[in-house]
Amino acid sequence: MEFGFGAGDEEFRAEARAWLGAHVGGGLDRRSWERILGKGGWIGLSWGEAGYGNRSASLTQQVVWAEEYARSGAPGRSGHIGENLLAPTLLAHGTDEQRGRFLPPIAAGEELWCQGYSEPGAGSDLAGVSTKAERSADGSYRITGQKIWTSLAHEADWCFVLARTEAGSVRHHGLGFLLVPMDQPGRIEVRPIRQLTGTSEFNEVFFDGAHARAEHLVGGEGAGWTVAMSLLGFERGVSTLAQQIGFARELGRVVQAAVDSGAVADPVVRERLVRQWAELRAMRWNALRTLGSSADAGAASVAKLLWGGWHQRLGELAVLVRGAGAGIGPSDWTPSAPYELDAAQHLFMFSRADTIYGGSDQIQRTIIAERLLGLPREPKGVV
């Protein structure tokens, strides 16, 4: 199964490749890069003829852009959450005023977003959130609680927060989906979480009476669960194909390392390398099968299970084929830099979390069992 591109798509590819070739590089920080993408009209391609400063592109052209972006070696996107998660959610559930306020700055690369879903006591159980949003006399909300594993919160201007707007509500009832400005000193505190890799993409976020305006509640009172589930459905799609291009590049480096170290002579190693290649092809076919379709309720969970485990196994292979040398860093230890990692070591360390973040494997299997296979719902423990 291969994806078909027409003449117009190839013209679009040439335009994208030329633009990326002229603009990638130069040591720009990620926020500046978002503004350059916005000025070039490359943000919001999937929004359709929305009229919010975005360029409209067909589904095949979106695939072309994602592929060319991955191949160009362009920086990782810090605007992904706003463009690919919040924007489609506002287009589906937001008011005209909300769309008019928030989509143009996303399209311009001017405002960055983070996602306030996970909590320490809820883990991957999104219905277990306890963060509260209480109405004030003026109709606005005051938010109190803690979110964790909040990607790029230290860079974000705004956060969409799932919180309990109805006192005494439980599980998926009484939730609200609120748009919250992050610049609230004394009311919002962001604490970076240092990871195995030494970097801090994830954060803890503490809300202590943080303010959210009444008109920034998306979908209305009590609709938070519906809106949140709709947003999670946007996490798959075109970006999955671009992700796989990056995976293929990583696999190529692991194969080369196996050749260089002589590990490829081991038949077990060869079998594992071939299996990684075959599974990557299967992931591409699955992504193409579900591309543009919203009918498969478990497609996102299947995709997450496939790529999370695959990438983790690739990280294990990356250090296995290096042998004992995989335990040696690229530079000597210093007090200011306790350790540094090369690409293979970083892949191994970071991929340990692939089967946890974005919904753990256990949660994804439960979703598949209940929503796709129609098995009985998992019993809840007696409190």
Residues with a catalytic annotation lie at: 235
Please give the Cα distance from 276 to 280 (Å, whole number): 6
Shortest CA distance to 369 belongs to which of 378, 360, 381?
A: 378
- β-strands 217-218, 175-181 pairing: antiparallel
Burial per residue of 337-346, b for 16 or more beta-carbon CB atoms within 10 angstroms, e otherwise: eeeebeebbb
Shortest CA distance to 210 belongs to which of 166, 177, 180, 167?
A: 180
CB-based contacts of 211, cutoff 8 Å, min separation 6? 140, 141, 142, 143, 180, 181, 184, 187
- β-strands 132-135, 113-116 pairing: unpaired
Could you give phi then psi for residue 370, rounded to 5 degrees? -80, -45
